[in-house]
Structure formats: structure tokens, C-alpha cells
Copies of this chain bind each other. A is one copy, B any other.
Amino acid sequence: MPPPSPTISVAVLGCGLIGESWSALFLAHGLDVAAWDPDGAVLAALPERVERLLGQLRALGTATTVPGRLSIAPTVAAAVAGAGWIQENAPEKTVVKHSLYAEVEAAAAADAVIASSTSSLTWTDLAAGVVRRDRLVTAHPFNPPHLMPLVELFAADARALARAQTFYRGLGRATVVLKKDAVGRIANRLASALWREAVNIVAEGIADVADVDAALVHGPGLRWSVIGAHMAYHLGGGPGGIAHYLDHLGPSQERRWATLGSPSLTPEVRQLLIDGIAQEASGRSVATLEAERDHGLILTLAARRNAKQGVDA
């Protein structure tokens, strides 16, 4: 199995928010995309939706001047027939994905990789429905994948894993590798742990939803967009680094861990969150908030490119 070449073509199976975003990323890097979705209306709307996302990538300067070609495939078999890479974004139901994999395996080339974007299922869950497990990879992106660099990878086969690293890095993605197949992987486990305490702070009446979000965006979130949590504590240890930090502040961290909350999403807590978001959104629709998020992400990613060019220069 050679690494996929720049002229590889990609099948995108499932063209909701994740599939359309992947499609834009692939096309922006000059790869041809054959897209399939069980919903004809989704497929009909796809070219226009993808074009909007491609515009964001052009603005960011990450799109090639000649994008790949987008074709709409009438069947799964037609989508995967000529594909070297198959990106599956079907609903998060094992039975749906297994059924789809049977169609894929009947029609795909022998060396095509099947990469699942699954968020809530594990590789092991999916492998139960695949014959050629050596070419099954979980490649979990962070939404929206055309902007967020992270892709979390797991595969049982070392060559499939290596191919996945090569493929996504070629698309400018930041890949991380799981050492074992774990529910929630890394990013969603971290996000879930943080949100539990964010909910607890609201439930305990320590601060409002909007202030919790503002503290995150202007404090730890900003920091974690530049350095990771482990590295932050390494710097927090001064010249002695993480060892000094653990010696001097490890016990106080363990004491704080013991004071963190274990909230439940009771009707009362649920209402606090809904009311708090309404206050924070201040009349802005989800679509407007999404557009603001994407605008902020694009500016931050552009700043990162400048940082990287500064380092490379």
C-alpha cells in the first residue's frame, strides 16, 4: 500500500455538516471528490454549500488555485469505485455503518482505506462490521473539519495508520494517534471534563453562563490555543518545570480535584443553561453565532500561519 498520491480521489459518504466540510477540504487541496448521501435533497444542495466553505479556505490561503472536481454519485458503489480514500460520515449508529461498510467492501478497490469520522463509536465497534479490518481507520475530526486542524487517529494496522497520518498531514491537518481504542478519544474526553465543571459552576451559582464562557475564551481557552495543558503546568513550574510544579503544587491540585463538581442535568440546571445561553447570545441566531465562530477561527488560523512562517524563516 503506497501512500496516497496528490491525485488520489476521495469518496465522501454522508454529506451532512461533517461530510460537506471534509469535501471542501479535499477539493481545496486539489483532490477529486465523489459524494454520496441517502438524501437526494442533501446531495442537490451540496455543491452550493461546499462552494461557501471553499470560499473560506480561499480567504485563509489554504486552497490550491485549481480545486478538485466534485461529482455527485448515485450509489455507494459508484462513489467508492474509483476512490483511493473513503471518508465515512454516516449517522452514529453501528447498524447503519455496518450496513454501509458491506456495500463499500463489495465495490471499493482492494487498497482503498475506509476512514470513519465517528465521534461516539470506537474502532472496535466499527470493525465488527468490516471484513478487511486492516484498512479500517477511525479519523475523528473536530467540527468544522475544514477549519479545525485536529484529526484523532486509531487503527489496528500500522500501515493503515501510517497512510492516514500521511494523508491528513498532506491536507494540513494536525494528527494525533491513540495508543488504545478509547471512548471519547482525547479531545471529547477533555471537552466533556471541562464542560462538567462549567455546568457545575453555573449550577452552584458561582457565575453565570456568559461569564463562564468569557473566562474560558479570555483565559485558559486562549492559552490552550497556543500551548497544551501539560505544557502550561510545565511553564507554571518556572525554571524547574513540571517536576518542580508537581513537587510544590501537585498536592494542591489533588485537593482542588476533590472540590470539583459532579452535576446532573436536572430540569433546574437545564433551565439555567438555556436561560444563560439566551442571555449570552443576546438575540443572535445559531447561524449568526456560527458565522462569528468561523470568522474568529479563520483569523486565528491565519495568525498561526504567520507564526509558523516566522519560525520557518
Q: Which of A's residues lie within 8 Å of B, judged by CB?
A: 120, 142-143, 148-150, 152, 174, 176-180, 182-198, 200-202, 204-209, 211-239, 241-243, 246, 250-254, 256-257, 259-260, 262, 264-265, 270, 273-274, 276-277, 280-281, 286-287, 289-290, 292-293, 295-297, 299-300, 302-304, 306-307, 310
Closest B residue by C-beta to A196 = B257
Instruction: For the complex, give the distance between the alpha carbons of A36 and B206 in Å.
Output: 33
CB distance from A165 to the nearest CB of B (A): 12
**Complex: chain B residue closest to A184, CB-CB:** B256
Q: Is the interface of A mostly helix, strand, loop or mixed?
A: helix
Whether A142 contacts B223 in the complex (CB less than 8 A), given A207-B186, A233-B195, A273-B246, comes out as: yes
**A/B interface sample: 11 pairs, CB < 8 A:** A142-B218, A174-B214, A194-B194, A216-B224, A222-B225, A223-B293, A231-B277, A241-B277, A250-B265, A251-B265, A257-B262
Known A-B contacts: A149-B219, A193-B257, A217-B226. Give 20 more (CB < 8 A). Answer: A174-B214, A186-B215, A186-B216, A187-B215, A188-B256, A190-B201, A194-B197, A194-B229, A195-B233, A196-B257, A196-B260, A198-B228, A212-B228, A213-B228, A217-B225, A231-B277, A234-B277, A234-B289, A235-B293, A243-B274
